[in-house]
Amino acid sequence: FFFRDSGNGELGVSFHRLATDESEAKMEGSPWPQGKSLASQDSGGGDMTSPETPESTPGPGDSGKRRKKRERRKKRVTWQQAGDLAKKAVVERKVRKNRALLWLVLLLVLPVSLALLANHYKHKLPLDFLYGRDPPLSHASPHGQAVREQTTQLGLHGESSASDGSSPDVLRMLVPDVFAESFQRVYRDKLAGDVRRLYNKTVEFDVVPFDKWKTTTQEDMKKRSMGRYHVYSILATWIPTFAEQNSIKDLTGLLSNLDSSYWEDVMPQVRENVATYNNKIFALPVDADVFFMMYNSRILGEHNLRPPETWHEWIEVAKKLHGKDLNGDGEADVGACVVTLKNGYSASYFFAFAAPFIQTYGTDEGIFFDPNTMSPKFAAPEYSAILDLYKVVVDHSTHSVIGETSWQEASDLFLQEKCALTFNFHGALKPILTSLKTKEDAEKFRLKMMPGTKVVLSMDGKSLEECDDHRCPFADENQINRAPFYGEGGVAIAFNPHMTPENLEAATSFAISLTGPEDSLPLLTKAGNLLDPYRYSHFKNLGDPESEESKVYGADGWYHQTLLNWQKDYMSAFEHPNGVKDLAIYGKVQYTGESALESVLIDLFEGKANAEESRARLEKAWSILTSRYGNHIQQKMYQKSLGLPTSSLEVPVVILGVVLVSVGTVAFLAFKNRQLSHSLSKEMKNSRTISKWTKLVEDNPASRLMNVLALVREGKQVDTKLVDALMISLMKKSGDFWSPDWNNNEFAKVKENNEDFANYLQFNLMSNFIDNLGTSGRSNSSRGSKKFSRTITDSPKSEQNLRDILKSASVKMKVTASKDIRKHYKVNDKVFSKSLNDIDKCTSSGNSGIHFIQSSEVRTLEDIGCWNIDIFGVSEVSNGHPILTVVHNIFKQDLEVGEFTTSTLLRDLEVNEEKFFRYVQVIESQMHPENVYHNAVHVADVVHNMLWLLTKGEMAARLGLSKFEVFTSLFACMIHDFDHPGVSNDFLVRTSDKRAVLYNNQSVNENWHVAQAFGLLNECHEEISWDESWTEDCLFKFRKLCVSMVLATDMSRHFELLGKFRNRVVSSPNAEEAFNPLDAKDRETVLVMAIKACDIATQGKEWKLARKWAMLVQEEFYSQGDKEKDLGLTVSPLCDRENVDIVKSQIGFIDAVLFPLYEPLSKVLPNAKCVLTQLERSKSMYKKEMAARSSSQKSLKSSSI
């Protein structure tokens, strides 16, 4: 009769007859057919409420022989059904797991890998894939209709619901003063009416000074949803920072339906520099920034000079013109006008000069850092040559005459013809271009792409090398490498990500029209607004002076010939494949501003530092800044800004590998799902064996009674026949109700796999061995029928029953003649008096026969408190004093136990430290080293295990243990095997040892350990009386808890204690709160289980320790078996040197004892789960060892054949 969890939350019940005689078979209270499970009678799947009355109950006329035959047949059927159910459960569980993995791969892993692949190739796909697929906008329609079409293509929601004439809402846009007028003009003239009509919105432009533009933007973004502005105008170099901080809206999904013509009209470099970051759209472009040079053709012609194509030619031209009167005003002029003013973007001018020397392989190479290492390009030794050349450029410029030069001053001096050359942002050159009113002026002041170079920095940075087709793949036919520098990238429109969907819809529609091909041109033509063309449509029809586009330019002062000269060079700069992106990472201002680059350049220009010193300073400054912001963070952002993959997952080969692995995994899991029934037979067998051991050791009458009472408490109707059967079972159960039932078919099955260990469980972990011997043959015993009686033989071939062996005269004579165990195994009768006499001699006469070790001589352990401490190593380094060493380190080191530390325990508890450590040494002196297992090393290990549970296991903290309880638990571990004789309780009982007589065969060793350890304190020996300050009440409580804990280490009480503990844990809704820290009895219960766990924890250690402990304990078992053979006694289970398999016995011990113990304990103390993991490891290692041994034996057999 036993309960089972069917796996679906229901309880199944099955019943096995315990009686074998005919009279009991006729008992009227028999509730159902023998061997037939209740679940098979009830269609409710195991529900115990009101089962149907079986129809196949045997009648009273059945003969006993026929009935027994039927019982055996039904038992076989029952077992077969149980095996089939177990097999089905295992297979179903694995099928569910396999299918879950299959669906996980199909729905998650495979789509993610494909998405990664698509993301990597996103920038290589056609433009309409990234930037929209809908038909082109109809630009012939009125402006309002154009806005309406864009709104529809964006997927926004048609006519605004606010078109009922109510007061309009306000959309606020932050713009700097330099181009605010252009925005306001286009909005006022073209878009205001449509925005009001469609969305009932108005747009207000908050204008800020140019130098406060970024600060104001950042401050508003920090306010998140409380920010003032819906729309921001920002520089492209700010986008990565704002995007990483989620301060601007990701528009990729929102603009997915935007007409592709909107993007196709934008010049490629502008699209990449201003709109996107990390393959996502974050802004709409409204400007394009790039550096150009301008030259004075009159001055160059008069001096027989050509416009420079390279920077070396620039320097030659500047040198020839520098100091000459170029405009006829009688004053010396300069070769070039170069911007050098601090805080005037002077760093951008330097990088515009240096770019062609550094970047040759295209935009994604970059000129600031090595993207693979984030090492500054300044680290190249020959970078100093680039700095030297730039100093020569500056030395022959306005800087040599007027000092630091602003961009406005450079433009004015160029127009005054005080220099023949200049280079600048296009927006800064636009006032010059719009001031040209005649054809002569238009031909005199010409715009040109920035100079390039024929020599570039080598890959190792140690030299400047000539350009060739390999080194400079984008060089022109003259091997001149050009690299247009897109300083600051341009201006864009971004959106507050926290605005409402309604406002976002209106804001994006407004911005699309503002920046689109139809309405954006008037933004760019005004001379002083710094905004530059960025669309191909901005150059449409410029050859016709009467076209609408030419008239827009003309209205803002552009001379038509200037437009024609300007158009080709401007467009080619934004189509160049080697264009250079500006720096766009965290702290750009710190890298390029006065604190770093600008101050170094000024010192270089003024001769305060040479080029090499400047290079070294820049390398150090940039490296420090990168470290400050985080090298990894800056590297990721820099790689994203260049459009490079930021991790190995984005490398195509790896992504393709992920896709292939995902597809392969799908195929493998599908195949495995089909072949599961053929491949799981071995795993199913192992799982069934493990579950049987677990079920057997956890199943007992007390647990079943608790289950029935739980049903009663819940108000369920329990079948009376079920209660009758339980009562019969309990009445027939002699002894401990918490011990398992062994006499059933299931135990017989698992016993076949490991008979030696099954015998050990049945006869050593339930009661004294001698008691089992005396009752094993009783037909009416609760131990079951003769069929399941314990049979232990001297020879494995013998089939004699043990009861018959014990009845034989020869064995009786041997046992009687050998009752004095000292003839064969001597235990010192006066072990304590002898040791105490020695102490007296030592203290009185100075005899050095016993030397107490002083605290200063004890070795300090660095790994104290570590679960896998090598306790054998501790014994070795301490010269055979592991107990003293471990205990001394515990109470001398500051180990946190709950809310206090162990170093204060003895002092706080008024324990005399000197006497206490003497007492510890006396305890250790009586741990017999001839015992290979139960010796001082084992005791030290148990003490240390308890320390781990208290500290890292958090037992003290979770239970709120007092200092008194912590000390007591460690003390109990220290004395739990005091003066252990090296043999079991049953051995002492069977040999009539005086200890067994003294303690009436009950927990003989455990009673001896604790009694004799406290006897030392009761002898009033001053040298070791560490408890002299304690009160009688304190001593009583201390001894009571110690006795409870030490007696719990008797393995014959294992199932009683474990059953009660486990039932408490299982019945609690929260296992971690199953025991009340405020209840002293609850705390004692956990401490009792803790010392049990510590005592048998060896197989929960790392493998090398677990295997060594297994060898030692088995050797001690063998030693006892040898003694039993010498005395003519039946050899105890697991003690026969010739027949016991140590590997199988350890696997059984882990399955049947350790797992059932540590599993509920780890629920109360979750940190102890690591022990369960190590138990699994130890079990797997034993299985490997057994498999290797089996393979070796097969090889030997085959070789012998």
Active centre residues (catalytic)? 934
- Nearest-CA neighbor of 877 among 851, 854, 858? 858
* Structure tokens given for 201: 């919105």
Question: What are residue 424's DSSP bridge partners?
Answer: 292
Both structure tokens of 167: 């007061």
Q: Measured between alpha carbons, how far apart are the two ends of the chain, in Å?
A: 50
User: Rounded to an integer, what distance in angstroms lies between the CA atom of residue 392 and that of residue 605?
Assistant: 9
Residues linked to residue 425 through DSSP beta bridges, in sequence order: 291
Helices 1142-1149, 1169-1200: axis angle to 10 degrees equals 150
Sign of the Cα torsion 882, 888, 894, 896 reads positive
- d(C-alpha 1153, C-alpha 214), whole Å: 70
DSSP letters of 355-388?
HHHH--S-TTT-SSB-TTT--BGGGSTTHHHHHH
Strand partners, 203: 171
Pick left, alpha or beta for residue 180 (phi over 0 → left; psi -120 to 50 → alpha; otherwise beta). alpha
Could you tell me the two tokens for 355?
A: 């770019």
Residue 69, class by beta-carbon neighbours within 10 Å (0-12 exposed, 13-18 middle, 19+ buried)?
exposed
DSSP state for residue 189 in the 8-state scheme: I
Distance between CA 405 and CA 384 in Å, rounded? 23
Select from 40, 248, 81, 107 the least CA-distant residue to 745. 81
CA 32 – CA 16 distance, rounded (Å): 10
Calpha distance 433→525 (Å, rounded) = 11
The secondary element (H helix, E strand) that includes residue 1122 is helix 1103-1126
Q: What is the DSSP string of 1013-1076?
A: HHHHHHTT-GGG-TTTT--HHHHHHHHHHHHHHHHTT-GGGHHHHHHHHHHHHHTSSSGGGSS-
Q: Which residues contact 851 (CB under 8 A, 6 or more apart)?
A: 842
- The Cα 888–Cα 1101 span in angstroms is 23
DSSP output for 735-799: S-TTSPP--SHHHHHHHHH-HHHHHHHHHHSSS-HHHHHHHTT-TTSTT--GGG-----SSTT--
Query: What is the Cα–Cα distance from 1149 to 1140, expressed in whole angstroms?
Result: 13
Instruction: State CA 261 to chain mean position distance.
Output: 46
Q: Rounded distance, CA 1071 to CA 981, Å?
A: 39
Angstrom distance (rounded) from CA 73 to CA 35? 9
Residue type, 718: V
Pair type for strands 231-235 and 276-277: unpaired
For CA atoms 975, 978, 983, 987, the dihedral sign is negative
C-alpha angle 488/492/495, rounded to 5°?
A: 130
